[in-house]
Structure 1
Amino acid sequence: MKNSRRDFLQKLAASAAAFPFLSSYDVLADGGLKPITSSQGPTLRVALMGLGGYASRVAEAMQSCKRAKITGLISGTPNKLSDWGDRFGVPEQSRYNYENFDRIKDNPNIDAVYVITPNALHHDQVMRVAKAGKHAICEKPMALNATEGQEMVDACAKAGVKLLVGYRMHFEPKTVEVVRMRTAGEFGKIKFFQGQCGFRIGDPSQWRLDRDLAGGGAMMDIGIYAINGSRYMVGEEPVWVTAQETKTDPVKFKEGVDETILFQLGFPSGAVASCLSTYNMNYLDRFFLNGEKGFAEMQPSTGYGPIKGRTNKGELTQPHVTHQTLQMDEMAGIILDGNTAIVPVDGNEGLKDLKIIDAIYRACATGTKQELHLV
């Protein structure tokens, strides 16, 4: 038992050396991780915009961050601003509503704004954040379409601020290990990827089923994980896509709100991907990567964790760390230190996913293969 524990810790130490984000954590007796108490450099001061369910998850996770803290709040609900402000120690002068948040320009205690609002609001809000001279972190999908996404990328570049997208999986230890193995050639030539992402959605009145706010349906919420996952798992940019939509409940899933879409991607090397995005089936959170020399399977693959996975070499044993804690500490390093993520999380990464989503919807509408030009 001692030998196996020593071997595990040695492997973990090696992982920390290979992947800098793990170096921000100490190993606990139970094999878990905790933030190192020594100074890691300057702290990223973040205003959270949109104080809903996911923002609450982010806020709680940030309490364990070493390099990021909540210093501002933006919401259209006065009671939330008051309650969250008291809870997270944000002074009244750093609490804003959607009409006056442009004033963050004059707040030296805010470096970045994390936009966690419905999809249709991302574009205008990020543009305003950039105009205020603050860095933007935007939840995915970054916008409703690639045209909006390009405008956001351009606006942030013009303002000299960074635009990052909330791709938490790009920092998740087991995911990063599979990417490392693939990059090192341990799976050989990649041949096939399968991504299954879906669940049965509940309340029919929620914004995710409102085309004007969501920009679509399952594809704009859960399907993007399969799109993005196919890219970082295969390690290439797709050059074509085909897609087919199925709708069994037109009352719940109105015009322009997709229920289920099957889509296929082709890559320059000849690798192919087969993916499913749905709001009408449970137990779908699985990635499978097949290469000439090995495979990787992750299930759950994108949930909040713990992620579970195995490869042809055995079970993935990297410890679970709250995704949003890792994400925000790593994004602090990207914004403040100029660090580079192992898998990109910048606006151009988000833009590529939007171009694929646009093409998937075109493929569903026309029944024809769509060429992709992402490089």
Structure 2
Amino acid sequence: MFQDSAANTLDQAALGVSEPTTPGTSRRQFINHAGRGLLAAGIATALPLAAAEAADLGGFDTTAPPTGPLDIKLPPLEAPTDPKAGPFPNPDAPDQRVGFAIVGLGHLTLAEILPAFGQAKHCKPVALVSGDADKMAKAAKQYGIKASSCYSYANYDKLKDNPEVQVIYIVLPNSQHHEFTLRGAKAGKHILCEKPMANSVKECEEMIAACNKAGKKLMIAYRIQYEPLNRAAQKLVRDKTYGKTKLIQMMNCQNQAHDQQWRHKKALAGGGSLPDVGLYCLNTTRFLLGEEPTEVSAQIYSTPGDDRFKEIEENVSFTLRFPSGVIAQCMTGYGSFNNKSYAVHGETGTIKMDPAFPYKGLKQELVHAPNGKQMIEQPSNPGKQQFALEMDHMAECVRDNKTPYTPGEEGLQDQRIMEAIYQSAKDNKPVKLTAGVGKTDAFRGTPPTEEQA
């Protein structure tokens, strides 16, 4: 979903340090010398050295890995008995980051994706594509993107001639994902595509085929699968920390504005609440369990006379049955108060996420009863920028030639299941499913690295 926000710029200060000191002298040593009355001497030697460093770094060892973190380290500030601070971000040098072209400058791009590059370690924005030249010029100026790297939808294919662009991130209405993925792959670029992947199984299959033919990677932007608290919930489920999972409840609903936005047009959106916000319930359930459902049953209801729902559905309730016996009840809607939560009920405890799906502010609660006394734990949220995490994963997959954790096949499987949900609601009976059943993480690729989690 798209939200407005002021854009911010990359923090160049985090990419390097400059200290007034002599070769081989650490910052800590310099400060200690200054405290013993040697500050004047330190400054006197630093001034000519600064000029020498500007020329050839005055004898410092300037070797660094061609890619990967530069790994700056300092002694800890905390006593051994105090909580430890996290590691420094240690991003790649700018010239070693994977270049992204962002297609579409709507709410999501301006509010979340472009600002996220400020917290990303392995990628950077190098090109923009938009149908609004004025808006694009302003965004380009904010993020230091060259005017020559700004494209319209008509000349989008010219990205093939821009060697700075390695990945195209498609952030367009659902119906345009298919076209711009095919054109992007033909231009010789890797593709990161927003969810839902497309409007039909056929389109998804064609997107996968186009990227395979071009020898390029295709990743679907399922940010929840890269977010730390949701990944921690997955580990609790997979490790059977609270015994076998028995039941799952998923809810993702919101009250949409009465503005006839593109999400209310079936030709553009492919559907209503199900492919937009209900997809989080479907995909997150599959992500947590690592299983594929064997059966789905569903009901759909839209308020009569509400102009928002002339073409698309308002509310969807669907039940997923899994080989292990887990039953997942999922609900999604476009006309009720905002609720984005889930609960995983195991034999000896419950994992709650509320909220579970927003861009920030997620909270986890673990309810169990060790020694017969109920306990509620609330793990802290690391506060990672979700779009930075997913884009960094894509960058690493491009750099290291790995299959993304959420490839096109993951998006295709969700589309298959959503079509079965619609069919079940239409026929008022359950629909059997077979794809991927019996395999763990059947449609996922290489998991994200620990630094991204």
Q: TM-score w.r.t. structure 1 length?
A: 0.88
Aligned-partner Cα distance in 1 for 2:322–2:144: 48
Q: Are the aligned partners of 1:294 and 1:311 in contact in 2 as well (CA < 8 Å)?
A: yes
**Distance in 2 between the 1:214 and 1:285 partners?**
21
Who wins on radius of gyration, i.e. which is larger? 2
Alpha-carbon distance between aligned partners in 2 of 1:96 and 1:199, rounded to the nearest angstrom:
34
RMSD: 2.5
Mark the CA change 1:366 to 1:217 in structure 2 (over 3 Å): closer, same or farther.
Answer: same
1:183 Cα offset (Å): 1.7
**Residues in 2 aligned to 1:194 and 1:59: alpha-carbon distance in whole angstroms:** 33
Query: C-alpha separation between the residues in 1 aligned to 2:153 and 2:160?
Result: 14
Structure 1 residue 347 corresponds to structure 2 residue 408: yes
Which protein, 1 or 2, shows the higher relative CO under an 8 Å CA cutoff with sep ≥ 6?
A: 1
Q: Does 1:321 align with 2:384?
A: yes
* 8 Å contact from structure 2 (residues 177, 193) kept in 1: yes
Q: Distance in 1 between matches of 2:403 and 2:383?
A: 22
Deviation at 1:79, TM superposition (A): 0.7
Instruction: Determine helix, strand or coil for the equivalent of 1:221.
Output: helix
Structure 1 consecutive aligned stretches of length 4 or more whose deviation exceeds 3 Å? 24-34, 37-42, 253-256, 338-341
Check 1:281–1:331 CA distance in 2 against 1; reply closer, same or farther (3 A cut): same
Aligned residue in 1 for 2:256: 201
CA distance in 1, matches of 2:131, 2:119: 27
Mapped pair 1:50 → 2:113: no
- Report the equivalent of 2:356: 301
Partner of 2:335, secondary structure, is coil
Match of 1:107 in 2: 162
Runs of at least 5 residues in structure 1 that lack an aligned partner in the other structure: 1-23
CA shift in 2, pair 1:195/1:32, >3 Å = farther
Paired residue secondary structure (2:336): coil
* 1:41–1:316 distance in 2 versus 1, CA, 3 Å: farther
Superposed, 1:1-375 pairs within 5 Å as 35-37=89-91, 42-56=96-110, 57-312=112-367, 314-339=377-402, 344-375=405-436
Distance 1:51 1:32, change over 3 A: farther
- Structure 1 distance, partners of 2:96, 2:146, is 21
Given the two structures, how large is their TM-score scaled by the length of structure 2? 0.73
Unaligned runs of 5+ in 2: 1-70, 78-82, 369-376, 437-453
> How far off its partner does 1:293 sit?
3.0
CA contact (8 A) 1:32 1:320 kept: no
Amino acid at match of 1:235: G
Take 1:101 and 1:337, find their aligned partners in 2: how far apart are those partners? 27
Cα distance in 2 for partners of 1:317, 1:264 equals 31
Report deviation, 1:180. Answer: 1.3
Residue 337 of structure 2 aligns to a residue in which SS? coil
SS in 2 for 1:281: strand
Percent identity over the alignment is: 33
Q: Post-superposition shift, 1:106?
A: 1.3
Say whether the 8 Å CA contact 2:302–2:309 is kept in structure 1: no
